[in-house]
Structure 1
Amino acid sequence: WPLWPLSAVLESDNYVIFENVHHEFDGPVISAVACGGGVEKMTVSWTTDVLADAFVEYSQDSGLANSKEQGTSALAGTNHSVEVNGLTAGTYYYRVKSRRVNGGLSIDSSIRSCVAAAAPAEAPPAPSSAGGGGVIIIDKNDKIAPAITNFALTAKSADSLTFSWETDEPATSFIEYGLSNSYGETVGSWASNTKHQITVKNLTPASVYQARALSSDGSGNVGKSENLAAATAETGEESAIEEETRPETAETEDPAELVQRASARLAELLNQFSGQLSLNMVGDLVSLQYTTLSQLANLLPAPLLSGEPRVETSANSVVIYWSTNKETNSQVALAPETRYAPTTKEPYQMVVGSANTFVLDHEVRIFNLEPDTNYHYQIRSAPRVGQAAVSRDFIFRTRLSALEITSFFPQIIDQQTVTVKWVTNKEADSAITFAPYRGNELAVNESKTLKDNNLSVIHELTINELKEGVKYDLELISQDEAGNVAREIIARFATSEDDLPPQISRIQADATIFVDQQSRIQTIISWQTNEPATTKVYYQTGVTAGDLEEMESTESRPEYVKDHVALITKFKPGLVYSFRVESMDSGGNVSLSNVHTFMTPKQKESIFQLIMRILENTFGWLKR
């Protein structure tokens, strides 16, 4: 038994006490392995010399290629029995595994065989009305993946790429993509078709992306295309998307006549009364020169920022928090290090946040960032009237592209069976651990694990031994070749009909202004649900009652997620919009939020508009 270095902290003639003692135990001794075949199952038993968990690795290949696993992580005893379910008739090859406390693992050196019997012929069951989308008919003998043909790029814009392909059988539609052949992102649809089209959005202009198509059939076999390199268009390059979302150019007006009448008078007032102005003295003014208005606003002190902001990063997003001593709006200027231009008038690429909501505690969420990348940012907090507070330049770095479960949902087949599907951003294996609730307590000692050792970004496992009316915690687990692990939990799941809609919370709207010739504006509306659900936003100009028949909407995103992000590029600048968010779970239960309002950032104001707004905010006489 190997020992790590020990550190003595207390000793006498009779004893020595050590700290930081690390000891690695050998795996348990496995013996008496046996198997009994049953109808579409086999039961494997063995013993260990110490308490240990119990797993069976099995395959219809004698070398255990494409193997799966079933078992339990509970350290329940030394006599082990694992019932391997969901088999088809035929010979299976298997070996057993047991891990003791403190990590010692033993894998049986012998690969053995066992025969599962065929189920007796019976009439097909009636379709289930349980929540989750009905019955899935699975051909368990299908081992051939869909053949993908005609994979091609069919459309592009500055921030999106559209791919299409065909399959020789109905299959799902997914695209793996990234700036390298490692990809790192996955997007698509679980709907089965033979003709497929997926649009990848929120990309960087004038950038080359690597992509491949993936399609899985009803048996979980995954087909993959060859890699395809595709480049997004330059910013401003003509396309349907860019043309549709480009904001209108504000009209300009000649301020000469207004300036001539007002500038001298207001400058005289400012110098004479040094900020102690009477409403009677300015009531007859209708405008003033822009520079003079700036001097008036500058008489008010700028808000105070709370020091260095707090930053929470992931591989593709960041949340930035800060506080001010007075109510201000919440905006962050941002640019990746390669596009940060400190010597220019506007050194940042975009400005993100809310320009029209005034708070003391600020939170701005920024999405669609590149992993493992340095970003420069600046806090900008402007009050309703007066100078804006502007921070110095800060830097954060996004995390390495971690393994993530990006979409997941359960699909009920019958009262004993559920198929759980999920997507990861990198290739990884598939496992589900499930445990029942007994007396409102989770029975961890009754937990069982199903595992598929094949690596994929599309995952699908079926549990067919659930009890009607019993609630379970289902834990989805994927591990990549580097040992990174991603987990998601579906809590208190039951195969009985789901009649509870998702709970919607933390609705937030933020605008992004891209600092380029078009001054493009895009709005991100985000929210959370307590269970995986779809993503859709209804919206309309003005403050409205939220009648869905009168509102436009985004396309419903079919991915089932808990964190929802909707990107809208159709909003026009300087307008108030009403919106409602909608999420539907896999059982078809729909939640619709109350009406929220949001004002998009304005384009640069004309002098007259600026005059009227500042006078109204400062003196208030225009409202009377």
Structure 2
Amino acid sequence: MIFSKSIQTHFISGILTLLVGISAIGNSAIAQPVVSNVDIVTTDSSATIAFDTDVATTALIDYGLTTGYGSKDSSIVFATSHSFLIDSLAENTLYHFQITVDDVLLNQTVTPDSTFMTNDVTGPQISNLMIVTTDSSATLTFDTDEPATSVIDWGLSAAYDSTQADTNLVTSHSIVLDSLAENTLYHFALTVEDSLSNQTITADSTFRTDDVTAPVISNLVIVTTDSSATLTFDTDEPATSVIDYGLTAAYDSTQSDTNLVTSHTVVVDSLLSGTEYHFALTVADSSANQTVTSDSTFMTDDVPGPQISNLIIVTTDSSATLTFDTDEPATSVIDWGLSASYDSTQADTNLVTSHTIVLD
């Protein structure tokens, strides 16, 4: 078959156009999509990953806590602008992800592993709080589960009126409060803050500085009878009390009250009448601070016996009759003999005020 020159020209032109088209298709078939403008916006529980491709593609995102991923999200819609919302994530956690895109000719691009961190919205957690006090200071040590600054607000009430701060971001904290009053209750609250301004504020708590002063004794009163002594006194703080007593300053007896009180009464009995006793008081508060008094004395009452009056002695050659009166009913006994050693006794066991004893 012989074609005209014109037909031959059109045929050759068509073949060339077809070859150019096939070449273009071939070049397109080996060009991978380009991923660009990757943008990640996170919250504490989600991440939105947006990106562009230079040609329309589907998209797949693999993500997880490691480069092994384990979770995925995908879109089969061909587009050049892509956005994925990944939710139900853990707060303040590093996630790995990888993007895979395919164009209509199944040319594929897989991005290298990348990461994002979800937001931290939780204040630091305080643990291991310890307070060591002296009579004029308090040292507070505690830990936080992430680096944080620390502030302590403190004072004599929960209104507070003083502040101590440490601006260092650390996990082990130590704050020293000094120039405090002895044996005083202080209120305090801790505030810790991480680098993202997340705060934790503790509830009001208290500590008491040490008591190093012994109780002060006042208003000592001693009431005696012929056989007992009652000692009453006050202390300026609750205290136990002990009295050591005896006939000398060596003492040999003790009476105690283990109750922590400020008004004290100690009764010592079974004493000798008309006798001087030595004693010392010891008082101790709940912190074992003691006051011991110097040696003091008291005298038990001297209770006289019946008073004798109107003594008359009538003698014969072989007898003696003694008559006398007493100011209260009383028995009577006469010890007599040839010397002051006596060797004889005569008694009347009747309780009378007019007495007669005959020696014969």
Q: TM-score, normalised by structure 1?
A: 0.18
Does 1 or 2 have the higher relative contact order (CA < 8 Å, sep 6+)? 1
Report the structure number with the largest CA radius of gyration: 2
Q: TM-score, normalised by structure 2?
A: 0.30
